[in-house]
Amino acid sequence: MHWADHAAKLLASRGNQQTIASGITPSGSFHIGHLREILSAEMIHRSCLDLGLESRYIFIVDSMDPLRRVYSFLDQSYERYIGHPLAFVPAPNQNGMPDPKLGNYCDFFLGPFLKALEEIGVKPQLIMNHEVYSSGVLEDLIHEAMSRREDIKGIIESISGRELGSEWFPYNPLNSDGSFDNVTIIDYNRPFVRWIDGNGIEGVSDIRKADGKMPWRVDWAARWGLHGITCEPAGKDHGASGGSYDTAIPISKILGYEPPPKMVYEWIQIKGGGPMSSSTGNTIGPIEALNIVPPEILRYLIARSKMSKHIDFNTGKMLFDIADEYERIASFPPTIEPDMPRRKRVAAETSLGALRMSQKNRNGGVSGSQVPLRHLALLAQIRKDDDQIWESLRNSGHIPEHPTEDLVLKLKRLRNWIESDHFPTDFRIEVTDVVTEKIRHSLSSSQLSFLKALGDRLNGADWNDDAINSAIAVAIQNCETRVSDCYEALYTLLVGKSKGPKVSTMMAELDQKSVLLLFDSL
């Protein structure tokens, strides 16, 4: 059983109505790592629907969270906004300067991310936390938290090991500068909170407005109750022993609501670079990734791995490997036989579940691949004109008369990838125009003999993958050079390096006369 189906089955035992949630703080540009939580939640939501449950998926934007520091992409003038809710901070212009004409900081970074989510088939119910606070719907929960202040304080201290001062309250008012920093509560009389800030200025906040917010561990527990959340995956930082998940669960019960079961996911890491972080710049953005690979491949990246397993990600060879795996399953889905061994049944069900969860449209068919990504990458580098690519694919039987809209978009993304720094060096192809002295001197006498024998055999041969592959095999068999040295020589002649894509396929896509001229010039 796929992990999302397993989670849905456990949720079904708790009731028919489910609210699956994920959330994000829009502190800067988003990265692929954020998709782990979002797609994990969305896939569980899909599984709930497939199981016949009533389910909704909500996406909570922590727009009341403060700007914590001046990030590298911001001008130092943002120093004045540190501690201010992101929804009340102006967006940055292209120079990183605050510019109120561009709207607020939160919406500025959130908009492109929501567009990227839509492109991968994620369309949640959006909840902006600053709007929730300003609507007054949290009044009862804030009041209950303030009334149970000592109980909640005791929970946080005992579970997290943190010591909270005597001035701590489960509510943080905004001070006279509009910041959460340097403000102390001096009295509470529902619905008003009296405070004094670091400037010695006293003021009053109304808990029915966005004049302040609950601290994270309390806010998280309160939103579970307010929105009726039954499932919310969280990263391993929140799920660690003594972390915010462990404190939010008993706080939720104090506030009168049953918490969702604890569900923790591992992070996505840039291979060799550690966890992704918007603030450090160690990121690959989902929009950037969607410019180079189809959405089902990104979804498959998440769907194929259990939540408890971390994912090493890069936009090089790994994406080809993931695409290969997806295309293989999409083209030849495993079948479930009544008498098959349990281990094979589990593997087949898991693969089918991952395939189902990888589709952009839940009720649509499986988006297979007319053309494998590796083959399309080969053509995209050999042929600069798209029409030539479609002609080649028609001749090879990959497509009928016209390419599909998805295939056209796939080629466009692939060209973006090839032109970027992300494309793996090993897959780059630059076909040799002439045999240089450098190429000639890099080949041994036995390699040159092999190439001349192959050139003779290719003269007059049919120019297709099978015929070329057969000619290569016979030439290797009739020479005394190692097989690996033969292929190295062939790649060196054609693309100037020791390896590349399947050589017979590549040669079949090249102009026959041009290739034979290379052999003749040895």
Backbone phi and psi for residue 227, each to the nearest 5 degrees, phi listed first: -95, 0
Percentage of the chain with pLDDT > 70? 97
Q: Give the 3-state secondary structure percentages of the chain, helix then strand then coil, rounded to 5.
A: 50, 10, 40
**DSSP 8-state assignment for residue 171:** -
Radius of gyration of the chain (CA): 29
pLDDT tens per residue across span 165-193: 999 999 999 999 999 999 999 999 999 99
273 band by pLDDT with thresholds 50, 70 and 90? very low
Q: CA–CA separation, 158 vs 172, rounded Å?
A: 21
Q: CA–CA separation, 450 vs 464, rounded Å?
A: 20
Instruction: Give just the sign of the alpha carbon dihedral 110, 115, 120, 122.
Output: positive
Q: What is the amino acid identity at position 20?
A: I
Task: Provide the terminal-to-terminal Cα distance of the chain, rounded to the nearest Å.
Answer: 58
**Cβ-Cβ contacts under 8 Å for 150 (sequence gap 6 or more):** none
48 three-state secondary structure: helix
Q: Which CATH class is domain 437-520?
A: mainly alpha
Of 135-139, 185-189, 282-286, 471-475, the one with minimum mean pLDDT is 282-286
CB distance 170 to 146 below 8 Å: yes
Q: What are the structural domain ranges in the chain?
A: 3-138+215-265, 288-357, 373-426, 437-520
Indicate the CATH number of 3-138+215-265 among 3.40.50.620, 3.30.70.20, 2.60.260.20, 3.40.50.300: 3.40.50.620
Cβ-based neighbour number of residue 71 at 10 Å = 17
Of 21-30, 155-164, 224-233, the one with minimum mean pLDDT is 21-30
Q: CA–CA separation, 435 vs 522, rounded Å?
A: 7
CB distance 80 to 103 below 8 Å: no
**DSSP 8-state assignment for residue 195:** E
The pTM for the full model equals: 0.88
Q: Which two tokens stand for residue 315?
A: 């936009």
pLDDT tens per residue across span 84-121: 999 999 999 999 999 999 999 999 999 988 988 998 99
Q: Taking 80 as the threshold, does the pLDDT of residue 272 lie above it?
A: no
285 band by pLDDT with thresholds 50, 70 and 90? low
Average pLDDT of the segment spanning 214-229:
97
**Cβ-Cβ contacts under 8 Å for 59 (sequence gap 6 or more):** 21, 22, 23, 24, 38, 124, 125, 126, 127
Q: Which two tokens stand for residue 221?
A: 């527990």
Which pLDDT does position 314 carry in this prediction? 78
Of 265-269, 271-275, 334-338, the one with minimum mean pLDDT is 271-275
**DSSP 8-state assignment for residue 79:** G
Q: Which residue has the higher pLDDT, 466 or 278?
A: 466
Q: Which residue has the higher pLDDT, 279 or 37?
A: 37
Average pLDDT of the segment spanning 134-162:
97
- Average pLDDT score over the chain: 91
Q: How far is CA 362 from CA 9, 23, 47, 309, 358, in A?
A: 18, 22, 10, 24, 9
